[in-house]
Structure 1
């Protein structure tokens, strides 16, 4: 199977590169005789009508009561990144995302952060409708995202998007749970004709990470006034390697072990293959009624590597075990299978799909309505190979199916909006509605060999008459989900909401929103929002808002278990360690409580200046106080005395735990920051155009109260406060003249700190600021053919080297959590044909 995929991938890459070169060749020395008309700028226009954060149909980004970034699909396309998550990182400075290497599910479903908060504190919408979460809950040590379950941006094909809107304000009073940091809304393309095919090929300057992407868009008419648009992309990406040989592996090689791989552990991007698609359709039944339908289908298959298992030091994997009960009998060690040690290959096959259907129009005169239903699912099926279940001994397979995670959500909305004449300069915009939402989280058991306890988890060694070295239980690197950990957990909730927005005078606008919500598992919430904008003089306005918000714990967070097991040789009892639900009596014995909602208070104030020609500048300050933030507790060891106390209290399961963790409302934070955005389009007399854009974000988070000391220690506090750069900046220039266009983009990342192994902080390392420059040049070789060449990180910048000894020992050269990545520069060529 792997060989077939390799052959297909290389054939596609070769074909794509050859096709691109052939398309470029006939036009490399020619120029078009006539200058093409300069199209409407693709820069971020403040005059673009927005739909996020307002239910008024005529609001633009310029006169919005709250800050909104608007990015066109054309601008998204001018990017060397192929993953939509990375595209957003280069376009929105308040959004951060890293490329993870060894962090379980985060390698495949990459969490992102907006305005310094967790990924599940940002709401993702498509065409204004809530999109479902990913199935992955982030258990690994990650900046800002430990314990989070947010949406997966990696399932989105960038060519499906007509307009991207990023609302930088709390919006729970309008949209419900999760909209604390803000809202990301993807408006899908609505073309009713045309076909576009784009092929892109590139690789890193180091010569690896070959990346092929093929995108296609098709628009068709549906009747005289309807449309059907479908967009899809196929992508394959090869691995990269930016590490050195591990010191312990090199020592084995120096001692004569020729079976050790070089490198024994790879630090770099995973091997990945993906297909992503979205469709969008609408048809007018009459002058006042439209039916719409949209949805997606995405698939991906990725493999990464885990930490190296040294055959001389991993005794709980490689120890010699007896195969008979007689002294001096045959013995077995996994050095017979992996004489040079091994690094498990961890993979995930993911499916994601959604479907939304609705009808909207007007009734009773001017009353607008929108009735819709949405269903979405995300599934991750893990696999792990090049590893063993050590406790099974020689009977262990070397490839396992650890199990499957699945997230399912259904939402039904009914919205109304009506303009009401009350004697103001414009009608009062009154909106109200109701929503029903249910979701389920399912864990499916892995294959038995991935979790079962083998005979060598505990045994008496006949050669010594003493307990032998216990071997680990489960597929090493990622034990499978056992029947005890599997199950389906669900919840439903409904909401009632209303908002009013009005131009009170020619210069003063305001809005109020309220929302009541009732959840089946923890009760009710009530949230509000007020916002206003005042134009002091023509071209100069101030705006501000205040709101409360919340995030409901997901069924997955409230119920998930992930444990590893061993055997107590004296009693024969199964001993477990790992994450258990906070409702488990063992967890509650150690202080766990059922999860409660996270609650926020957010206020913001800003200035909008657009009084000097086409120059537009916005400056916004924000402050978010967040209480009862949900995270995973620290490791809580259970002593023999505590185990007996659990049994005495009637909690018999307590005798089977050695160490536990659980989700908890762990801490409070205060996050504040400033966003500055400036745009300036310049049209020249010769017909050319230059679009300039600059943005700056400063964000600082402080832990203000610790509610669970096991969850918030010095290291975790550093992760929350300093692990992501506090300062991000972006400068962009897009020039177009006739058939030629050029884009230059510079992204600035401030310094950040990662902790070391010393409890006093002396081993921490602060990494310096970085500036990454991207460049793309495009040429319209024909009316329907555009050729492009470009580079990300054109100056091949790398983060500071990691000088912490533990990481050097592991072969790490550059920090593995670097916000800019550590792969260096990337070049690409692209050809786009339109029909």
Structure 2
């Protein structure tokens, strides 16, 4: 049988035990809710089906359905952030398309170093490659990870988080760990409705959520279930009026009501308003004891509307404090308003005024005709998600198991903008733009096999083998011509008339190309690109003695864009006593560059000292990137080590402590920016979309990191005052640092952010007490201090040197969540509660040379008061809510 299993490697794949054990995990969760015991069966990190969270050789967190649904957050990212200490995701207040698809980090590693699964099958990547430069994306800059926000909590039976490298078991991306969402398969009906809002700003952030789950039997042989959710969230605002807008209203009171968002701030710092739906289908049918067919899928759609930066119509001055000195600073007008568009073309055939040039006279156009008080673009993103998985699995009398499956997935992100303009098109500008659609498509084929080998040891050895075929495709569709183009007024050579029919050169004025705020996909970069890969694996694990278990895994994969790689893993667990065991793992891993990373093209607007500048990110295969030295991307490679112990004395107490070290080489990042000169534009005309004074960047393998940390998880169950009390303490210490880098890729602020953007210390204490129909949940979260050097690069106290020394340090905080539930009439449960009960905010932005505080508003120049990424728990403050649950 060993030979037969090995022969099937060429047509097999990687995720067998996961899907096979989903039923067991769901039953474990249901029992956990009834008895108060923690869910025990784990189905990731092993091919065995008899492992628990405490006797697994790799550290695994098992989060129950009840704990996931307890969170009032409508985004799965925020749900996981609240309960998994090593999981980090910023709020993303204004971060271009990254606001629509936020990128998380696990153990300080980027989103595409986390493998996400549904029922043990690979979940697709998002359509967005993270190219926004800022603290919002600093830990996932350049990544293209999965968008788990499309998964509704009500559909999940449990979430298992493997805190261990697992590329040898599951393929590319599992460097930092694995998130596996087990889907519900219980029979019954459940409905939930939630309403809540924030404490501040008059109670903004109003949230409505309606969700439901229904499961029915298919005779005695199967089931079908459907879970769905609809949510609508109003935006929040935690900034103040920009000082330039305060000045404008004072100078032009008759135009004050035409300021964007009047009478509120012209620029919104907070959560963008959004609405959307999510659905999950799950089903199985047993044709025979040896063959069960399954079908499941996830479908979702969402829309969000984001504020961009305000574009000032006039220049003003205001007093500011930089931490040391009080000075008067100039708040510049946006480049679209600094000079008019000259409309008179040079006379045809005039020798002193060449064709294509313009006459500097009074025939002009000003953008104040469109926006007399300036403008704030609104950036719109519409995300659509679909993945379907179908397969057949079974177990023979001999114990041989198989799982054959295939999946198709597609995610798209359509980007557009209102209330903007294309400066280089002058009076013919649009005010609304379609930037095109980004699309990620994936196909996976898998066959997984296991066989128990009886060789006279303490348990059978589980032999596993398999192979996988995967195809990924990335597509960008063309945007409106004005969204990316350089119009007729991009460069105006101006001449003045010195005598009848005689002209002399006066000056050259420019207008930025493309739409103000973002750039659409041009025909040059529109189109599809794909990547194919094939992989095979083999594994062997089991109990060698009653006290010692061990596992081995190896994997080979071949990619058509960079070649092949081989990785391996070994883990072991040894019981010192009945209640104390030690465990350890070691392995290698990799992340293959995605078609999106190889082919993304994005044009964005940034502001440097008030000047609007275009920044273009271009594919490494493009003439633009290669003009500045781009080369082909290679895979990231990793080495993982972990060791820890499990203490389980059997009296309701469990304690696990696990240390880890993750070395990642040749990490994929984004190069330094290369400024476009007039000569560059002559040498390469395709640079016109960026324009003179703009900059270019591209993806490259440019640095190595070392991540070290420790996870501590302890649970205790007892009785208190006649009720059941469950206590959990989870702590994570994590620190990443760059050990080697190309200075052309990594700058000084990135070195700091990789090390300190996520708090190095994070802890969560949770208590659940229930008595009869009453239940109380309390969670106290500790967030250690953190820094954001990219956005706030000079620490107060060092401003006199003017040098970048450190990022501003934002202090440690405690955040308290509390909810109380009452079940009545058996089937109805009412919950009232608050997240961030005591309305805690991160520290305010400190005055520095780079970010002085203006006297007019007590904010920096863009009106923000709190750090723009939101930090580890956001800048919205307290949120109260009520929820009604009906379950039959």
TM-score, normalised on structure 1?
A: 0.90
Alignment correspondent of 1:550:
590
79-88 or 410-419: bigger deviation = 79-88
- Go from structure 1 to structure 2 and tell me whether the alpha carbon gap of 1:656 and 1:47 turns closer, same or farther (over 3 Å shift): closer
Q: Residues 423 and 384 from structure 1, CA distance in 2 versus in 1: closer, same or farther, beyond 3 angstroms?
A: same
The equivalent position to 1:247 in structure 2, one of 243, 247, 254, is 243
Deviation at 1:251, TM superposition (A): 1.3
Aligned partners of 1:829 and 1:654: how far apart in 2? 54
- Which residue does 2:225 correspond to in 1? 229
- Check conservation: 1:728, 1:747, Cα contact below 8 A: yes
User: Counterparts of 2:873 and 2:492 in 1: how far apart (Å)?
Assistant: 49
Deviations 1:356-409 (A, max 9, x none): 000000247321000000111110001100101111112112111111000011
Q: Which moved more, 1:181-190 or 1:659-668?
A: 659-668
Alignment of 1:579 onto 2:617: yes
1:263 aligns with 2:296: no
**RMSD value over aligned CA atoms?**
2.1
Select which of 324, 340, 348 maps to 2:344. 324
Offset, 1:522? 0.6
1:251 aligned counterpart, secondary structure: helix
Which residue of 2 is the match for residue 699 of structure 1?
A: 734
In structure 1, what is the equivalent of residue 491 of structure 2? Answer: 458
Aligned to 2:668: 630
C-alpha distance in 2, partners of 1:47/1:509? 22
Contact 2:131/2:617 (<8 A) preserved: no
Name the residue aligned to 1:747.
781
Q: Is the 8 A contact 1:540 1:609 kept in 2?
A: yes
Kept in 2: contact 1:45–1:70 (CA 8 A): no
1:44–1:72 contact (8 Å) kept in structure 2: no
Tell me the distance in 1 between the aligned counterparts of 2:643 and 2:377: 51
CA distance 1:660–1:47, change in 2 (3 Å): closer
Partner of 1:15: none
User: Is 1:433 paired with 2:433?
Assistant: no
CA distance in 1, matches of 2:679, 2:149: 48
Distance in 2, Cα, partners of 1:784 & 1:577 = 56
Aligned-pair CA distance for 1:77: 1.1
1:205 corresponds, among 188, 199, 203, to 199
Secondary structure of the residue aligned to 1:248 is: helix
* 1:474-515 deviations in Å (ceiling 9; x for gaps): 111012111112110101001010111110001100000000
Structure 1 CA distance, aligned partners of 2:185 and 2:206? Answer: 32
Give 1:712's aligned residue: 746
Q: Find the counterpart in structure 1 of residue 855 from structure 2.
A: none
- Output the CA distance in 1 between the equivalents of 2:224 and 2:52: 26
Partner of 1:828: 881
8 Å contact from structure 2 (residues 368, 374) kept in 1 = yes
Picking from 622, 630, 637, the partner of 1:592 is 630
> Paired residue for 1:8?
none
**Structure 2 unpaired stretches of 5+:** 1-29, 315-331, 346-358, 498-504, 606-612, 795-801, 853-858
Q: Structure 1, unaligned stretches of length 5 or more?
A: 1-37, 566-574
Cα contact 2:486–2:689 (8 A) shared by 1: no
Q: Which of 298, 302, 305 is residue 303 of structure 1 equivalent to? A: 305
Q: Say if 1:799 and 1:822, in contact at 8 Å, map to a contact too.
A: yes
CA separation of 1:813 and 1:47: change in aligned 2, threshold 3 A: closer
Partners of 1:185 and 1:289 in 2: CA distance: 24
1:332, distance to aligned residue in structure 2 (A) = 1.2
Match status 1:107 vs 2:87 = no
Q: Secondary structure at the match of 1:719?
A: helix
Mapping of residues 760-779 of structure 1, within 5 Å:
760-762=803-805, 764-779=807-822
**Segments of 4+ moved more than 6 angstroms:** 640-644, 651-657
Paired position in structure 2 for 1:194? 188
Equivalent in the alignment of 2:600: 560
- The Cα of 1:583 is off from its aligned counterpart by 2.9
Equivalent position of 2:155 in the other structure? 160
Give the aligned partner of residue 643 of structure 2. 605
Q: 1:241 to 1:643 in 2, by over 3 A?
A: closer
Alpha carbons 2:278, 2:300 under 8 Å: kept: yes
Deviation (angstroms), 1:545 = 0.4
Maintained 8 Å contact 2:36/2:717: no
1:587/1:787 CA distance change after superposition, 3 Å: same
Instruction: Choose 316-325 or 476-485, whichever is displaced more.
Output: 316-325
1:403, 1:447 within 8 Å by CA — same for their partners in 2?
A: yes
Equivalent in 502, 516, 523 of residue 483 of structure 1: 523
CA distance in 1, matches of 2:622, 2:440: 22
The structure 2 residue matched to 1:381, chosen from 410, 414, 434, is 414
- Tell me, in whole angstroms, the C-alpha distance in 2 between the residues paired with 1:394 and 1:43: 71
Match of 1:366 among 399, 413, 425: 399
Give the C-alpha shift of residue 153 in structure 1. 1.4
Offset at residue 355 of structure 1 (A): 0.3
Q: SS of the counterpart of 1:74?
A: helix
Asked if structure 2 preserves the Cα contact closer than 8 Å seen for 1:631 and 1:665, the reply is yes
CA separation of 1:43/1:455 partners in 2, compared to 1, >3 Å: closer, same or farther? farther
Q: Secondary structure at the match of 1:109?
A: coil
Deviation at 1:416, TM superposition (A): 0.5
Find 1:534's aligned residue among 563, 571, 574.
574
Task: Tell me the matched-pair count.
Answer: 781
- State the distance in 2 between where 1:784 and 1:824 align: 33
Q: Secondary structure at the match of 1:715?
A: helix
2 CA distance for matches of 1:364 and 1:681? Answer: 39
Which secondary structure does the structure 2 equivalent of 1:354 belong to? strand
Aligned partners of 2:520 and 2:603 also within 8 Å: no
Given that residues 207 and 234 in structure 2 are in contact (C-alpha distance below 8 angstroms), is that contact kept between their aligned partners in structure 1? Answer: yes
| CA apart distance, 1:834 | 1.8
Contact preservation (8 Å) 1:44, 1:71: no
Post-superposition CA distance 1:605-664 (Å, at most 9, x none): 0010001511000000000011000010110235567788xx6xxx88689976321100
Aligned mate of 1:56, from 44, 48, 51:
48
**How far 1:96 moved relative to its partner?**
0.5
Alpha-carbon separation, structure 1, partners of 2:544 and 2:861: 66
In the aligned structure 1, how far is the partner of 2:671 from the partner of 2:586?
32
TM superposition score normalised by structure 2: 0.85
Distance 1:127 1:655, change over 3 A: closer
CA distance in 1, matches of 2:123, 2:185: 19
Task: Sort the Cα spacing of 1:564 and 1:208 in 2 relative to 1 into closer, same or farther, 3 A.
Answer: closer
Query: How far apart, in 2, do the equivalents of 1:198 and 1:131 lie?
Result: 26
Aligned residue in 1 for 2:9: none
| 1:539/1:564 CA distance change after superposition, 3 Å | closer
Q: Give the structure 1 partner of residue 292 of structure 2.
A: 290
Aligned to 1:689: 724
Would the alpha carbon gap of residues 625 and 329 (structure 1) be closer, same or farther in structure 2, given more than 3 Å must change?
same
Asked if the contact 2:104/2:110 (under 8 Å) is kept, the reply is: yes
Match of 1:75 in 2: 67
Q: In structure 1, what is the equivalent of residue 768 of structure 2? A: 734
**Taking structure 1 as reference, are residues 40 and 724 closer, same or farther at Cα in structure 2, changes over 3 Å only?**
closer
1:467 Cα deviation after fit: 4.0
Cα deviation for residue 763 of structure 1 reads 6.9
Shift of the 652–783 alpha-carbon distance from structure 1 to 2, 3 Å rule, reads closer
